[in-house]
Structure 1
């Protein structure tokens, strides 16, 4: 049994049969937070249709890749363990990479030239409760299977510590609130 199993809020978050008494809302587990584009993308959101691509001049955005103003981005997952549990919260984020690394990743993902091993990158989204004034240096780890996204690992600072040591459930709830989804009142029962 995990330590968080003693927290009634954690049990309610993970119980798909629980319904908030004030509104009937239920959760059924962690809620990952994703970004539809890098913060530097100025052209609006991608429409949620399969295989959609948004092209504006030379700039291009898909669900997995982005080219904007001569920069190259890959959509990644950034995992953060939750202390006291076996669960991991995920941010769906964008990493800026060199053109060569971008092309190597694309060649591997399409099967044209397998062998992408990962690369250096920069986190290109401002994460709630981990705000940074500048892009954060990261390592981009190649996906283990074709259906997965690469994993982004922060190299330094509070985000790197959070990835290495995990965050508290209360910190996770603060992240949700800072992202505009304060679920704390719905878990108090």
Structure 2
């Protein structure tokens, strides 16, 4: 029988029953704290530039939870070309950004629990309404993360992830 999961919501700190429905990474894999002192590097909650040459956006890989109807989300970083990153920045507060075609990028977050690296999976960044993180759609491969995004997961799988990621 799986362990009961209790956690504090990361947004409001209220106690919650069951495993969390989201986990995230505060920075792309290439970010180092020392870059914060560089003029050509910046990390915000939504975007990242490293050495003026590497550009990232923070988005969500959304996965349906089959037996509950919930949606589980991985908060991940995806690298973009300089041109696509510039376009993303230009439209950041523009409601018309929802009409943008998806931008190609490479997953730049290492996620635990998959038995193989999640780095550099091909992805598409789909811009959503202002104030909503972009949707990250992985290319349909046989990688376990891509399969989960396509086919969904069970609540039991969320319990496994909670066991792996939650302290205690």
Contact persistence 1:105–1:116 (CA under 8 A): no
> What does residue 43 of structure 2 align with?
61
> What does residue 161 of structure 1 align with?
147
> What does residue 21 of structure 1 align with?
none
Determine if the alignment matches structure 1 residue 122 to structure 2 residue 106: yes
Aligned pair in 2 of structure 1 residues 180, 111: CA closer, same or farther (>3 Å)? same
Aligned pair in 2 of structure 1 residues 123, 8: CA closer, same or farther (>3 Å)? closer
Contact persistence 1:74–1:94 (CA under 8 A): yes
- The Cα RMSD (Å) is 2.9
Contact persistence 1:30–1:89 (CA under 8 A): no
> What does residue 178 of structure 1 align with?
164
Please, what TM-score do these two structures have when normalized by structure 1? 0.71
Task: Structure 2: give runs of 5+ residues left out of the alignment.
Answer: 7-13
Question: Which one of the candidate residues 6, 27, 30 is aligned to 1:40?
Answer: 30
Question: Which one of the candidate residues 93, 97, 100 is aligned to 1:110?
Answer: 93
Alpha-carbon distance in structure 2 between the residues aligned to 1:180 and 1:29: 12
Aligned length: 156
Determine if the alignment matches structure 1 residue 148 to structure 2 residue 148: no
Task: Structure 1: give runs of 5+ residues left out of the alignment.
Answer: 1-6, 14-24, 46-53, 183-189
Alpha-carbon distance in structure 2 between the residues aligned to 1:176 and 1:164: 21
Alpha-carbon distance in structure 2 between the residues aligned to 1:44 and 1:179: 26
Higher Cα Rg, which structure: 1
> What does residue 27 of structure 1 align with?
16
Deviant stretches of 4+, over 4 Å: 7-10, 112-115
Alpha-carbon distance in structure 1 between the residues aligned to 2:159 and 2:75: 17
Question: Which one of the candidate residues 41, 58, 62 is aligned to 1:75?
Answer: 58
Alpha-carbon distance in structure 2 between the residues aligned to 1:64 and 1:55: 18
Please, what TM-score do these two structures have when normalized by structure 2? 0.79
The alpha-carbon deviation at position 170 of structure 1 amounts to: 1.9
The alpha-carbon deviation at position 133 of structure 1 amounts to: 6.4
